[in-house]
């Protein structure tokens, strides 16, 4: 499943990468705790640079391979180190910037960078500025060190009031924002597993949280992160709207959404629920039921039996009620066309 999604996503990115020059299908994979393997295709010699700065130019990065022609290079990094790779075509001078999508936390779930995707004007989303995640209640000290290195300036928690009490984030030292609501509001009294019901409620229910996210993005003070419990549904919706504002194609947005099935680690999303202590807490008992179900330990595909991505229902709701994502942003979130232009100037390269 993971391989299928990654192949699909690389195919979607190929056209955008090719526009930069001869460097095509660039990718970074952690092949060992202390090693990254960089790959690309192309006939020209390529210089490979490494940096801990997501915006580093070749002159301020470390050259790790010169005039490389074989399309692959493995580099040593510290375990957990977040490194950014810059590939420079020696013939055309074109560059491509890439990084690991997933932040390799020991006890985190689905914490990833949404940089690198093709966007408006033939540009790409900048790396190292927007992160999406699952819950963070069980992070290790090493995980917290990794997250501190990201230099987050804001953290928006998309979870319900009950979830935030049951599983408070362990990330400290970052301004924290949330909007209270009940878990019951998400499902409207129907089973939470009903994808269409839940997703059609998201555009209205999560509008206050989206306003916070866009306020932080427009504030342009540095990297931000946002999360729900699994980092796939509410976080997937918010990511879809952010990427839409940046002009990322819908098929790329859907492909990114489906990566959650591979990147989730449910065992680290919620502390173990004591069913005796929490017997009268319906939200706690809901999560306890999941913890007791072996099927829930394996993330399930985010689509209807006919293959329709759950996220599609949220887009359909927006198009039915507001006409388009642009209209939704303007009328419901307060993000104008001028704001969108500012976002693209700041978050695309």
pTM above 0.85? yes
* CB distance 170 to 139 below 8 Å: yes
Per-residue pLDDT of the chain (349 residues; tens, 9 = 90+): 554 555 455 555 544 444 445 799 999 999 999 999 999 999 999 999 999 999 999 999 999 999 999 999 999 999 889 999 999 999 999 999 999 999 999 999 999 999 999 999 999 999 999 999 999 999 999 999 999 999 999 999 999 999 999 999 999 999 999 999 998 888 765 545 558 999 999 999 999 999 999 999 999 999 999 999 999 999 999 999 999 999 999 999 999 999 999 999 999 999 999 999 999 998 888 898 888 888 878 999 999 999 999 999 999 999 999 999 999 999 999 999 999 999 999 999 9
Report if residue 142 sits inside a domain. Answer: yes
Residues 117 and 95 in one domain: no
Residues 201 and 311 in one domain: yes
d(CA 229, CA 110): 10
- The parent domain of residue 44 ranges over 2-99
Please say whether the dihedral angle defined by the alpha carbons of residues 174, 179, 180 and 182, taken in this order, is positive or negative.
negative
Q: Note whether residue 275 is domain-resident.
A: yes
Indicate the residue among 99, 120, 154 that finishes a domain.
99
**29 and 143 housed in the same domain:** no
What pLDDT is attached to residue 18? 40
Is there a single domain that holds both residue 21 and residue 129? no
pLDDT at 21: 52
Q: Is the domain of 13 the same as that of 157?
A: no
For residue 196, what is the domain's CATH number? 3.90.190.10
Q: 147 with 235, same domain? A: yes
Residue 272 lies in a domain: yes
Last residue within a domain, chosen from 37, 70, 99: 99
**Is 63 in the same domain as 26?**
yes
Residue 27 lies in a domain: yes
Residue 151 lies in a domain: yes
Q: Examine residue 287 and state whether it is found in any structural domain, yes or no.
A: yes
pLDDT at 7: 46
Could you tell me if 121 and 70 lie in one domain? no
Same domain, 123 and 201: yes
Q: How crowded is residue 51: how many other Cβ atoms within 10 Å of its Cβ?
A: 17
Domain-located, residue 220: yes
Number of compact structural domains in the chain: 2
Integer Cα distance of 11 and 184 in angstroms: 39
Do 56 and 14 fall within a single domain? yes
> Which of 44, 74, 99 is the endpoint of a domain?
99
């Amino acid at each position: 499943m993971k391989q299928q999604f990654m192949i699909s996503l690389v195919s979607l990115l190929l056209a955008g990468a090719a526009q930069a020059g001869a460097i095509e299908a660039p990718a970074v994979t952690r092949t060992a705790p202390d090693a990254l393997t960089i790959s690309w295709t192309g006939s020209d010699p390529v210089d490979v640079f490494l940096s801990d700065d997501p915006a580093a130019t070749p002159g301020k990065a470390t050259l790790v391979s010169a005039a490389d022609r074989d399309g692959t290079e493995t580099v040593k990094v510290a375990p957990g180190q977040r490194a950014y790779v810059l590939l420079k075509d020696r013939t055309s001078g074109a560059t491509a910037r890439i990084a690991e999508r997933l932040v390799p936390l020991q006890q985190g779930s689905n914490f990833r960078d949404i940089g690198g995707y093709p966007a408006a004007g033939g540009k790409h989303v900048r790396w190292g500025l927007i992160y999406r995640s699952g819950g963070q209640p069980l992070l290790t000290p090493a995980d917290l060190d990794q997250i501190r290195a990201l230099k987050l300036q804001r953290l928006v928690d998309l979870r319900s009031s009950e979830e935030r009490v049951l599983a408070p984030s362990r990330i400290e030292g970052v301004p924290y924002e949330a909007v209270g609501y009940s878990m019951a509001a998400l499902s409207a009294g129907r089973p939470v597993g009903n994808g269409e019901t839940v997703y059609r409620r998201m555009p209205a229910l999560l509008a206050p949280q989206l306003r916070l996210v866009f306020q932080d993005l427009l504030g342009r003070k540095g990297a931000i992160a946002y999360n729900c419990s699994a980092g796939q549904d509410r976080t997937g919706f918010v990511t879809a709207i952010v990427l839409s504002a940046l002009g990322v194609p819908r098929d790329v947005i859907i492909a990114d959404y489906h990566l959650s099935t591979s990147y989730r680690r449910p065992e680290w999303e919620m502390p173990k629920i004591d069913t005796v202590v929490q017997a009268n807490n319906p939200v706690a008992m809901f999560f306890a039921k999941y913890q007791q179900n072996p099927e829930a330990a394996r993330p399930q595909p985010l689509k209807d039996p006919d293959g329709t991505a759950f996220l599609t229902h949220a887009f359909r709701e927006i198009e039915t009620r507001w006409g388009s994502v642009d209209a939704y942003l303007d009328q419901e979130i307060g993000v104008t066309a001028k704001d969108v232009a500012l976002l693209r100037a700041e978050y695309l390269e």
